[in-house]
Amino acid sequence: MSEPSERKANLSIEEKRALLKQRLRAEVEEEGQDASGKGPVSSTGEELPPFSPDPDGRFLPFPLTDIQQAYMLGRESGFELGGVSTHLYFEVDCPYDEAQLMAFNRACGRLIERHDMLRTVMAPDFQQRVLEQAPPYVIPLTDLTGQSEEAVRASLASIRKEMSHQVIDAYTWPVFDIRAARIDQRRVRLYFSLDMLLMDGWSMFLLYKELHHLTRNPEATLPPLTLTFRDYVFTLEKVRDTAYYKRARDYWFKRLDELPPAPELPLAVAPGTLSSLRFKRWDKTLSADVWRRLKDRGGKAGLTASGILLAAFAEVLTIWSKTPHFTINLTQFDRLSLHPRINDIVGDFTSPILVRIDNTPAESFERRADRIQKQLWEDLSHNAISAVEVLRELTRRRGGDRTTMPVVFTSMLGFASLKEDFLEEGMSPSDWLGETVYGISQTSQVFLDYQVFENKSDLIFRWDCIDDLFPPGLLDDLFGAYCRLLELLADDEGAWQRESFHDVLLAEQLAQRAIVNDTDAPVSPKLLHEFFLESAERNPDAPAVIADGKTLTYGEVLDLAKRTAHWLQRQGLQRQKPQHHGAAPGTSGTLVAVVMEKGWEQIVAVLGILMAGGAYLPIDAHLPAARRNELLTDGEARLALTQPKFETLEWPDGTLRLAITE
């Protein structure tokens, strides 16, 4: 078998699919049309509008895409987990060579001239425009040679602190920042700070390739570009008038009410209370041998490489999530086949898609993974509408209460399939520039961003997370469990038939929990709310609840709880009989639903219910209507306490409601 044939035989399912797609595109370019003689078609075979280049309008303003709009809004500090840009930062240590550094700078300048999006700035009213000309780009060099080791470390740390979480002015060119620091006579460190308003993951790999080529071959000429990102955006707007788009919109809008929230992981603080967001990276390299075994075992079950990793990610999230039913935000680098050379241009073609995970059924991991992959394939066949637009509709249906999906899964495994003529084997910045010594990314309105790609034959995956949002050690436990699960699935065929991995992945945590929970001691006969009543009697003016812009004393909370208890009793709430320790609370007629989001009203509601002799059933007000009403019906809760903003929700017939206010 020849070497190229051997390489193709070893390609994964994903790689073969991507390679086939690339060859089909090449055939389209050669023929000038698709096999039917019509215009471009979608991945599902549906006709798309013809691509219409507009060279005369190249430097006129054009609209932001859905994802670019979301990124711009995420820069605003008024949004939860906002106030940051969607940004990639990394540092590479290279051998110092003045001529090579100058060649690299010239190559950067040539790419800025070549790719319009590298000369793009934002404009008012969610528009963007390409500058016809940009000033020469000069990479500033800080010379640290001759300084003490301590001074060098301090300078390098200062640059990292400044650049790693930059929010670059998007209205002023350039919307990126590249710097260099000469550490000593032999080394220079390159700093890359890139705002992802301008480019997606595919674009990054394209730029790596072209930078490498132009740096090594300064006199080389790249083939001219015959289309622009602006052309693509205007053609994309026409897609909204197609049956392809309408079918996708109907598919997603019909599923909105059953779409669960993001994984409800334990948090140390409310996201809205963080004054600044700093991301921290967890990363791991899975050796080529382990990665091959994992793919082989998954392949026997009909799973793609990304499908295996996504299912394992969902498995670990399920262990820590409040419920096993949640949504993961999956990054899709979706360049619609509107033009045969669409892969030659830089731009942000990101179109996220929402993947519903339901790990409730008691079944093997293999069955769960298969279900997730089939769901993903079905979702991807309706990808003409982005998750951004889907979430906008969900926000509208919830009365303007903004919905986010802050847990993200980004797979760049399909990129490796193009290595024969798009990427060199295993190319990454560290392969030809030097050694990558640090990297971090951040995304607005996201608190856990999973990224995975291949380098040579190894698998590299990393999580960029807002560490301060979570209890100390939680992310270490989560990431460690994920690493152990991948190795277990690679090494143990029987693991694919397990229904649960709690005991395997949490052995250490369960042992610690057993020690902490060994609290054998006399139990007070008092009820929970009676302790509060005693405190309110002793210190009525002391602060009891401190919330966003509001402080309530013990006396004020007690008054509100009494009013709530009186209302419940007037509605016929039956007082529970005293129960011995360990008895199950809540029988028909005593269960009151607390349908709220986090807030001071929850405390008033719970105290009022207990004072009236009832038991409470907490329900997240943001649950899909079908799930929320199922809980209300199953709990036989005919009384519900809520917040004013949720009074207009859909409720089961006969539900009596009280909105807690001051």
Query: In this predicted model, what pLDDT tens digit does every residue of 126-163 receive, in sequence order?
Result: 999 999 999 999 999 999 999 999 999 999 999 999 99
pLDDT of the residue at 521: 63
- Token duo for residue 638: 């005919």
Q: Is the dihedral of CA 9, 11, 14, 17 positive or negative?
A: negative
How far is it, in rounded angstroms, from Cα 287 to Cα 310? 19
Q: Which residues of the chain have pLDDT under 50?
A: 1-11, 13, 15-38, 417-426, 429, 580-588
Measured in degrees and rounded to the nearest 5, phi and psi for residue 369 equal -65, -40
Short-list 324, 414, 332, 410, CA closest to 368? 324
- The SS3 call for residue 57 is helix
User: For residues 460-492, b (16+ Cβ closer than 10 Å) or e, as one string?
Assistant: bbbbbbbbbbbeeebbebbbbbbbbbbbbbbee
**Burial group, residue 309, by CB count within 10 angstroms (0-12, 13-18, 19+):** buried
Sheet with 435-442: strands ordered across: 141-143, 176-182, 187-195, 87-95, 435-442
Q: Which residues contact 569 (CB under 8 A, 6 or more apart)?
A: 612, 613
pLDDT of the residue at 37: 38
How far is it, in rounded angstroms, from Cα 411 to Cα 330? 8
How far is it, in rounded angstroms, from Cα 483 to Cα 222? 42
Report the chain's mean pLDDT, rounded to a whole number: 86
pLDDT of the residue at 122: 98
Q: What is the pLDDT of residues 383-408, one digit of tens each?
A: 999 999 999 999 888 877 778 999 99
pLDDT of the residue at 459: 95
How far is it, in rounded angstroms, from Cα 568 to Cα 558? 15
For the chain, give every domain's residue range: 529-659
How far is it, in rounded angstroms, from Cα 362 to Cα 350? 35
How far is it, in rounded angstroms, from Cα 349 to Cα 13? 23
pLDDT of the residue at 386: 93
HEC letters along 3-37: HHHHHHHCCCHHHHHHHHHHHHHHHHHHHCCCCCC
pLDDT of the residue at 574: 72
pLDDT of the residue at 618: 92
- The SS3 call for residue 313 is helix
- Token duo for residue 362: 């008691």
Give residue for tokens 């007629």. 589
pLDDT of the residue at 503: 85
| pTM for this entry | 0.74
**Burial group, residue 269, by CB count within 10 angstroms (0-12, 13-18, 19+):** exposed
Q: Which residues contact 231 (CB under 8 A, 6 or more apart)?
A: 51, 52, 53, 54, 339
Q: Does CATH place domain 529-659 in 3.40.50.300?
A: no
- The SS3 call for residue 598 is coil
Half-sphere exposure of 272 (CA within 13 A, CB side): 10
pLDDT of the residue at 103: 94
Q: Which residues contact 3 (CB under 8 A, 6 or more apart)?
A: none
Specify whether the CB–CB gap between 259 and 394 falls below 8 A. yes
pLDDT of the residue at 129: 98
Eight-state DSSP code of residue 250: H
